[in-house]
Amino acid sequence: MTLQEYDYARESPSKLAASCLLLALTMKNLGGWTPTLEYYSGYSAQDLHPLVKRLNFLLTYQPRDKLNAVRSKYSHRVFFEVAKVTPMDMLKLEETLTTS
Protein backbone atom coordinates (compact mmCIF):
# COMPACT_ATOMS: atom_id res chain seq x y z
CA MET A 1 0.00 0.00 0.00
CA THR A 2 2.81 2.40 0.77
CA LEU A 3 4.29 1.94 -2.69
CA GLN A 4 1.41 4.01 -4.02
CA GLU A 5 1.81 6.80 -1.46
CA TYR A 6 4.45 9.47 -2.00
CA ASP A 7 4.47 10.37 1.72
CA TYR A 8 6.17 7.08 2.53
CA ALA A 9 8.99 7.43 -0.01
CA ARG A 10 11.16 9.29 2.51
CA GLU A 11 10.91 6.50 5.09
CA SER A 12 13.76 4.04 5.48
CA PRO A 13 12.76 0.69 3.95
CA SER A 14 13.94 -1.15 7.07
CA LYS A 15 11.92 1.12 9.36
CA LEU A 16 8.87 0.77 7.13
CA ALA A 17 9.19 -3.03 7.17
CA ALA A 18 9.65 -3.10 10.95
CA SER A 19 6.62 -0.83 11.43
CA CYS A 20 4.51 -3.03 9.17
CA LEU A 21 5.55 -6.07 11.19
CA LEU A 22 4.69 -4.36 14.48
CA LEU A 23 1.30 -3.29 13.11
CA ALA A 24 0.60 -6.84 11.88
CA LEU A 25 1.60 -8.34 15.23
CA THR A 26 -0.65 -5.86 17.00
CA MET A 27 -3.59 -6.33 14.63
CA LYS A 28 -3.45 -10.12 14.95
CA ASN A 29 -2.85 -10.01 18.71
CA LEU A 30 0.38 -11.99 18.35
CA GLY A 31 2.40 -10.13 20.94
CA GLY A 32 4.50 -7.04 20.86
CA TRP A 33 7.95 -5.94 19.88
CA THR A 34 10.36 -8.37 21.53
CA PRO A 35 13.98 -7.71 22.48
CA THR A 36 15.00 -10.08 19.66
CA LEU A 37 13.06 -8.04 17.09
CA GLU A 38 14.56 -4.85 18.52
CA TYR A 39 18.07 -6.27 18.32
CA TYR A 40 17.85 -7.54 14.74
CA SER A 41 15.85 -4.61 13.34
CA GLY A 42 17.76 -1.92 15.19
CA TYR A 43 14.51 -0.18 16.15
CA SER A 44 12.81 0.06 19.50
CA ALA A 45 9.03 -0.10 19.66
CA GLN A 46 8.94 3.59 20.58
CA ASP A 47 10.90 4.43 17.41
CA LEU A 48 8.20 2.71 15.36
CA HIS A 49 5.03 4.00 17.04
CA PRO A 50 4.52 7.14 14.89
CA LEU A 51 4.94 5.20 11.65
CA VAL A 52 2.72 2.35 12.87
CA LYS A 53 -0.04 4.89 13.55
CA ARG A 54 0.38 6.41 10.08
CA LEU A 55 0.21 2.96 8.47
CA ASN A 56 -2.98 2.10 10.31
CA PHE A 57 -4.42 5.46 9.27
CA LEU A 58 -3.52 4.62 5.66
CA LEU A 59 -5.39 1.32 5.95
CA THR A 60 -8.38 2.99 7.57
CA TYR A 61 -8.83 6.03 5.34
CA GLN A 62 -7.53 4.96 1.95
CA PRO A 63 -9.37 5.95 -1.21
CA ARG A 64 -11.10 2.89 -2.60
CA ASP A 65 -11.80 4.09 -6.13
CA LYS A 66 -8.27 4.35 -7.60
CA LEU A 67 -5.14 2.21 -7.75
CA ASN A 68 -6.83 -1.06 -6.84
CA ALA A 69 -4.23 -3.44 -8.32
CA VAL A 70 -2.39 -4.00 -5.02
CA ARG A 71 -5.64 -4.35 -3.07
CA SER A 72 -6.99 -6.79 -5.63
CA LYS A 73 -3.82 -8.88 -5.66
CA TYR A 74 -3.60 -9.18 -1.88
CA SER A 75 -7.31 -9.92 -1.56
CA HIS A 76 -6.68 -13.33 -3.11
CA ARG A 77 -6.48 -16.45 -0.93
CA VAL A 78 -2.97 -17.17 -2.26
CA PHE A 79 -1.87 -14.11 -0.23
CA PHE A 80 -4.10 -15.07 2.72
CA GLU A 81 -6.50 -12.22 1.85
CA VAL A 82 -4.44 -9.76 3.89
CA ALA A 83 -5.98 -6.80 2.06
CA LYS A 84 -9.30 -7.71 3.63
CA VAL A 85 -8.07 -7.51 7.23
CA THR A 86 -9.93 -4.86 9.18
CA PRO A 87 -7.69 -2.01 10.41
CA MET A 88 -7.46 -1.39 14.14
CA ASP A 89 -9.43 1.31 15.85
CA MET A 90 -7.04 4.25 16.25
CA LEU A 91 -7.71 4.62 19.99
CA LYS A 92 -7.25 0.89 20.63
CA LEU A 93 -3.99 0.95 18.64
CA GLU A 94 -2.74 3.91 20.68
CA GLU A 95 -3.62 2.12 23.90
CA THR A 96 -1.95 -1.12 22.78
CA LEU A 97 1.24 0.65 21.68
CA THR A 98 1.60 2.61 24.90
CA THR A 99 1.10 -0.44 27.12
CA SER A 100 3.55 -2.67 25.27
Residues 86/45/54/10 CA torsion (nearest 10 deg): -130
Give the pLDDT band of residue 82 (cuts 50, 70, 90): confident
**How far is residue 34's CA from residue 84's CA, in Å, rounded to a whole number?**
27
Please give the pLDDT value at position 85: 84
Write the pLDDT tens digit of every residue in 22-58: 999 999 899 889 999 999 999 999 999 999 999 999 8
What is the pLDDT at residue 20? 95
% of the chain surpassing 70 pLDDT: 93
DSSP annotation of 88 reads: P
What pTM was computed for the model? 0.84
**Domain 10-99: which topology?**
Cyclin A; domain 1 (1.10.472)
Give the whole-angstrom CA distance, residue 54 versus residue 36: 24
